[in-house]
Structure 1
């Protein structure tokens, strides 16, 4: 059926993007605006970057949060572009049960070649790219993996008024997004913890109705704050549940900190290995450092700094989008080089074995990967001298493969080994000694993340800021200094903050996003982190906004 809009060259139909007039094919990232008109993700992003903030068809104003995310999303060659022909030759992929490639793997080295007459130390990179699910709609993806989710929420006195109203709206929204294959529990806390749902409940229509009443009538602002009590109750629910869904997660939101000093080490050791903890800090009084540690020790979770009360909903929506699009779990990235080549350093927050380097082999362990996500693993490699040996024009010096579990089928899959190529000869021409641009961008990303962690652990405010200034100088001196993403990193590191709390909370959030390469809600002063937003996040935000208009 044709819409009322028409083009002189070609009539528009509901199955076409009215910006490029091409078909809205299944598998391509698609966004649906609040007016229900659909566009290719890239087309709408280009339109907004050209300062068009209205629907091209009906001229309805596009929601400002969508405008900001699309305007900040990256699509340049160094981060989100399609792989080049040479990348396709280097990479490997494996098909999922749906027949689509689940993960593609691309290895890179800092240089195309190195002298064969002398040893050196260079950087290496392995990029994992998860496939796209296309346009995301929870109701339409009946085959998605079911989840167990526990929301642990602050109901202390400081959450009264508008914050509690918004929190209730958000919990109601989460309830509605789940199906009868999912299970949800709600735990609230002040100075005590309360199991509001009486355990994990399947999200049947009957149980949804019951939870709506609980959310509306039982969540009321209470007294002081004891985050640990809420966490302990949620962890007990996970450990004592009867059976479990393939995806398990804990959402923790608080606007304060414990009234008494608590030791969380024993508590977090009790978190089951398959439960990922995502933490959300709202307002000026939350303990950002604590929430980061809870997320990190909660199986590579995320921390989100919510700088304004109406961002609570979008923040939860983004985290929920990740859970509903998980494509791989228990990921093991296995890198092996010829014996004389040794990995000397691993630059990542992810655990690896062996822990002690150097070694010719290394295996990184990642908890999960969601649709449209990337992971870039950086390491350093000792390159030996080949003096006395015949120069080799194109030498395969190692391979990388990825083993993971596909959550839909619980099958263990492995990618085809992808080779690392390095030309060895002497003399070496300049073209082979140019720094790989993509690798240099990723080196700046992970170095910035590690410096941010160091700066946030530095209690002296002036010394903390000095660490960030030094990192700015290093980025400016790098080969990829003019890359748009690197320029965004510099702007974020140089951003002036009105208070030390804003400085630390925002940078804790930026650190977590750059370290994990997983998108969460970001404030306006952390534009570099918007690179991790994807169509699934935007679709969930739109769904939330439509249901709460």
Structure 2
């Protein structure tokens, strides 16, 4: 009997060691040093537990919402901890990932079967069954509250609709926030930072009238480039320079090369170019993970990185910051980065503390709400999302065959869910070796943003610097490329555009590519295959007609680039030995490398690491044997080095899980969007300029390096560790 009772106690987590003073006099004061046996917790991480009777008077004991190794306020015995992790304290059934039951981990770090705890909460129990901590968020079945039967209450719970659905766990802030003495001391500061969020985020600061001048008048500052092309430049290259009249080419490659204008230049009344340039102002929403794992150096470096962002935004740029842990909080509405705006923003960032779990979905949802509720809109809008951990709140059912990834797409801005619509990109940063790189990559991919892997703590600022260097230089929006077949019998084949949406008409006589925004100096390359029929004429054949249209961010005027004809010579007989175009061949190598990464990652996820390494090795061999590879093309050499690095990160399962997956996903993100991302923690400091980097990014990165002590900042490796592409001929 005694043995059974012991097992029951362990299952219920009753083997607790909690200090309970006999009288109120034994409660440590804030000024006195706490007793070694007393419960010592951070005021920011504490909530009020249930009152405990103690003689003639009662008292309330502070307990941490998320116990950490350093917290002594709540300790489980080793055996009790193991039992509670394996056994549901409600049904006493076993809990193991992959056994077909969704699991829920509460803010007090205790885990239960989802269906057990949802039923428990449904009947009015809002305390942890193990430690009796009052929860600030409670689990329930059903879709988000805004989507549940128009939010109508039910008989059992007047505030929650318990509609049944697929078992996804959502959270509702049910209990009022308890304010500790430390919070009360900062009540005035919290009121400035809008601690209690309104139901609608339509309190954004009005836009500044007139065009935006870059806040840095010196010529080396981002956004201040010399005069160059004023419209998007379109160039084309054919695989071969000649095709004989009698030849039939099934898949003849044509490269479409786009280059964004250098900058928008102010022209004075005297016709002279001024030294300062206008640029499109930005609405930037940063969604930052401040869970318990971010405590210490991570949070300090994140604050420094955000300080850098704030200092480099102009007076017409607006910023809003969302912090999330177990719940999400808007620190302040969209605010212009004037002098006062910067000061208040820096105060808000410095007030951040790390505690609680990781609720990525709630942080993303609140960040998107800031975007969708704003009264006024700057021409450019983007979200920066950073997280260092797994989402412990958005839980999906799992089974023994595969792990179902959370689907964050419904939380993205409405435009991002409409194919071909102008989307608001979410640029995602996976921080450290414990984040969910697959889920974070899916957010960036679905929204049109990039995914970066920050392996070293001190690299956060550089990664943010490169990102905003691009966002502050948008020169084209909603760019579409139109491709039409030339001569009557020429037909379009495939369009290889990476993650950019493309479309081909049913008759194969036309096609289009939706590119979206371009930063100043950015380049895009797309390979189009065409079927070239024989001809009886010795004149040049027109294979394609290529043009594009886009909107100028400041004026919203539509700019149309006239069609460029792609011609090829058709002699009776091709006399000389033809060489494949280097421009076309290097892009083939880039696309082949990206395809090999996808195939290799698929093998690695199946557990076939040796096969994954072999796929990359074979791709390296083909690249080095290609025409551009044999010529020593720098892009091909860099691709080879990148694939080799991925092979090394697949040496064993542990290394792949820690960094290989995230490293590969950041590379895929960079190649699929042809945009610079950051990853890793080191690189050769003598490496050449990156292929996808622009001058604005490089200059902002240099500013970050200058502002950061060299002895504390490691070098950062970029996904696009390629030299600059040679100027198209």
Q: TM-score range by the shorter chain?
A: 0.7 to 0.9
Measured in 2, the distance between the counterparts of 1:361 and 1:264 equals 34
Partner residue of 1:346? 495
Partner residue of 1:268? 412
Measured in 2, the distance between the counterparts of 1:462 and 1:287 equals 23
Partner residue of 2:256? 126
Alignment counterpart, residue 413 of structure 1, candidates 559, 565, 573: 559
CA distance change for structure 1 residues 269 and 537 in 2, over 3 Å: closer, same or farther? Answer: closer
Partner residue of 1:327? 475
Alignment counterpart, residue 463 of structure 1, candidates 578, 599, 611: 611
CA distance change for structure 1 residues 367 and 32 in 2, over 3 Å: closer, same or farther? Answer: closer
Task: Show CA shifts across 1:255-303 (max 9, x none).
Answer: 11212343323223635544111011111011222222111111x2111
Q: Secondary structure at the match of 1:318?
A: helix
Task: Show CA shifts across 1:208-229 (max 9, x none).
Answer: 2211111111x11111111111
> Is there any run of 5+ residues in structure 1 with no aligned partner, and where?
1-28, 34-39, 42-97
Q: Secondary structure at the match of 2:384?
A: strand
Contact 1:510–1:529 (CA<8 Å) still a contact in 2? no
Contact 2:537–2:570 (CA<8 Å) still a contact in 1? no
Alignment counterpart, residue 677 of structure 2, candidates 499, 509, 520: 520
- Please give the residue correspondences for 1:410-489 in structure 2 after superposition, counting only pairs within 5 Å: 410-431=556-577, 433-458=578-603, 459=605, 460=607, 461-481=609-629, 482-489=632-639
- Please give the residue correspondences for 1:187-336 in structure 2 after superposition, counting only pairs within 5 Å: 187-197=322-332, 199-217=333-351, 219-259=352-392, 260-261=395-396, 262-268=406-412, 270=414, 273-298=422-447, 300-336=448-484
Task: Show CA shifts across 1:165-184 (max 9, x none).
Answer: 01011112211212221111
CA distance change for structure 1 residues 111 and 537 in 2, over 3 Å: closer, same or farther? Answer: same
CA distance change for structure 1 residues 534 and 99 in 2, over 3 Å: closer, same or farther? Answer: closer
Instruction: Return the index of the structure with the highest Cα Rg.
Output: 2
Contact 2:327–2:362 (CA<8 Å) still a contact in 1? yes
CA distance change for structure 1 residues 99 and 391 in 2, over 3 Å: closer, same or farther? Answer: closer
Contact 2:538–2:570 (CA<8 Å) still a contact in 1? yes
Contact 1:115–1:424 (CA<8 Å) still a contact in 2? yes
Report the CA distance between 1:115 and its aligned residue.
2.2
Measured in 1, the distance between the counterparts of 2:616 and 2:415 equals 33
Task: Show CA shifts across 1:59-101 (max 9, x none).
Answer: xxxxxxxxxxxxxxxxxxxxxxxxxxxxxxxxxxxxxxx8842
Report the CA distance between 1:508 and its aligned residue.
1.3
Task: Show CA shifts across 1:98-144 (max 9, x none).
Answer: 88423111011101111221311211110001133499xxxx85621
Contact 2:372–2:413 (CA<8 Å) still a contact in 1? no
Report the CA distance between 1:426 and its aligned residue.
2.7
Partner residue of 2:538? 391
Task: Show CA shifts across 1:228-274 (max 9, x none).
Answer: 11101011111111021110000001111212343323223635544
Q: Secondary structure at the match of 2:314?
A: coil
Report the CA distance between 1:492 and its aligned residue.
1.5
CA distance change for structure 1 residues 125 and 484 in 2, over 3 Å: closer, same or farther? Answer: same
Q: Secondary structure at the match of 1:200?
A: strand
Identify which range, 142-151 or 98-107, moves more after superposition. Answer: 98-107
- Please give the residue correspondences for 1:90-101 in structure 2 after superposition, counting only pairs within 5 Å: 100-101=229-230
> Is there any run of 5+ residues in structure 2 with no aligned partner, and where?
1-217, 266-274, 397-405, 417-421, 710-729
The answer to whether structure 1 residue 531 and structure 2 residue 664 are counterparts is no
Contact 1:450–1:515 (CA<8 Å) still a contact in 2? no
Measured in 1, the distance between the counterparts of 2:476 and 2:264 equals 17
CA distance change for structure 1 residues 134 and 415 in 2, over 3 Å: closer, same or farther? Answer: closer
Measured in 2, the distance between the counterparts of 1:30 and 1:144 equals 15
Q: Secondary structure at the match of 1:331?
A: strand
Measured in 2, the distance between the counterparts of 1:310 and 1:522 equals 12
Report the CA distance between 1:415 and its aligned residue.
1.3
Q: Which has the higher contact order (CA 8 A, sep 6+)?
A: 1
Partner residue of 1:106? 235
Measured in 2, the distance between the counterparts of 1:99 and 1:439 equals 26
Report the CA distance between 1:317 and its aligned residue.
0.4
Partner residue of 1:14? none
Task: Show CA shifts across 1:428-456 (max 9, x none).
Answer: 1234x320001100111122123213322
Q: Secondary structure at the match of 1:434?
A: coil
Measured in 1, the distance between the counterparts of 2:507 and 2:625 equals 28
CA distance change for structure 1 residues 204 and 134 in 2, over 3 Å: closer, same or farther? Answer: closer
Partner residue of 1:182? 317
Contact 2:230–2:262 (CA<8 Å) still a contact in 1? no
CA distance change for structure 1 residues 335 and 544 in 2, over 3 Å: closer, same or farther? Answer: same
Measured in 2, the distance between the counterparts of 1:440 and 1:194 equals 50
CA distance change for structure 1 residues 265 and 538 in 2, over 3 Å: closer, same or farther? Answer: closer
Measured in 2, the distance between the counterparts of 1:372 and 1:242 equals 32
CA distance change for structure 1 residues 356 and 336 in 2, over 3 Å: closer, same or farther? Answer: closer
Identify which range, 188-197 or 449-458, moves more after superposition. Answer: 449-458
Task: Show CA shifts across 1:176-208 (max 9, x none).
Answer: 2122211111001112111111x2112222222
Partner residue of 1:505? 662
Report the CA distance between 1:356 and its aligned residue.
6.5
